[in-house]
Amino acid sequence: MKVTKITSIPVRAGAFGGFYVRVDTDAGVYGLGEALMVLAGRAVAEAVAHLSKLIVGEDPFSTERHWQHMFRRGFFPASGVYSCAISAIDIALWDIKGKALGLPVHTLLGGPVRDKVVCYPHCQAPSTEALVANCVDHVERGWKFVRWGLPDNSGRHGASEGVLDPVKAVDIGVEQMARVREAVGPDVHLCFDVHTRLDTAHAAAFCRRVEQYNPFFIEDPLRAENPASYRTLARTVNVPIAAGEQWSNKWQFREAIEDETISYARIDLCGVGGITEAAKITHWAETHYIDIAPHNPLGPVSAAAGVALCTASTNVGVLEMPRAPGTYEADLFPVQVGFEDGYAFSEGRPGLGVEIDMDVAEARAWTPSGFYPRVTRSDGATTNW
């Protein structure tokens, strides 16, 4: 079997679009991958086309060899855009291997250690009152976790421009944590995403104030460029910290794992180098008793890859799942992983267990462009979205 073609498939989907990759073979078996940096999709597409020169004509089963070629042949570390391109191609190659062998990807990763993977949804709303109602609604529909993010000054979080001053945002976030905990009770897990919107001092203050509400974790309390800052934060707070979605290879995870400054590794399979690299980071984290909580804000291919990794891994805390599989992008992906009562699971189909309708993809073709929303301080300075 040989790879014959690699195609980038950017489509209109969700708030920011979707970026998929299809790898075809001369045996008629194809695989699907997905890339993280959607709004940089034109750059990712060029990177995919560039890397395709290393993969077309090769045996798709040699995933480790191909990963090393894609990462090393450019000499400079393949982070950011190139890591997203590697991720999408690598995931698609694993999908091909599973389909060709008639086995789910999790079987190729060592076989299932669990029957299903607990997930958390995105609970977002324009006000605290609406947020509490949205969290309660998710719990009533069977979710075991709820998750939302640090609000701006108006109490909102998500795809909106706004003004965010740390002291006010922390006050609102603490109030929301208290209100949600009271509404959902003690048995529902709370995940709170700071979304890198705070510096160390304000993040520490927030973590100390919400400790009484027993959060499952505080996600991305700081930006990711300097992992040493997580060491400073971890020494001053007593809540679990989750981070890693912005790190694009095992070396960037190294310090946080070895210093044990995070409790949950937020590996993004579509940005960290695909299944090949994500599995290595997962097993490395296991040696430090760190669970994974994969970052998965994207589409059905990303969701399926996350389910495969979590199904075959011992050290799993929770998998991000913004919406229940099968309830979104069902026209584009008529076959997706299973979901019930807050858990996602493989239904035993070969590969990732996801299929794409190329006619729909063509009809929704899109040229990626743009930026994420601009969030500012009250003085007009740009801050983290």
Q: How far apart are the first and last CA of the chain?
A: 44
Helices (H), 40-193: 41-55, 63-72, 81-101, 105-108, 128-140, 166-184
Among candidate residues 17, 194, 27, the one with its CA nearest the CA of residue 100: 27
Distance of CA 336 to the CA centre of its chain: 17
Tokens of 194: 């700071």
Q: What does residue 146 show for φ and ψ, rounded to 5 degrees?
A: -130, 155
| 317 and 306 Cβ atoms separated by less than 8 Å | no
| 44 and 18 Cβ atoms separated by less than 8 Å | no
Tokens of 236: 């001053």
Residue found by looking up tokens 């077309």 in the block: 56
For residue 40, count other CB atoms closer than 10 A to its CB. 19
Rounded to the nearest 10 degrees, what angle do helices 41-55 and 63-72 cross at? 120
Question: What are the DSSP calls for 142-183, one per residue?
Answer: T-SEEEEE---TTS--SS--EE--HHHHHHHHHHHHHHHHHH
Residues labelled catalytic = 195, 295
Among candidate residues 47, 50, 26, 53, the one with its CA nearest the CA of residue 35: 47
Q: Which residues does 62 contact at the CB level (< 8 Å), separation at least 6? A: none
For residue 178, count other CB atoms closer than 10 A to its CB. 15
**How far apart, in whole angstroms, are the C-alpha atoms of residue 143 and residue 27?**
41
**How far apart, in whole angstroms, are the C-alpha atoms of residue 278 and residue 369?**
27
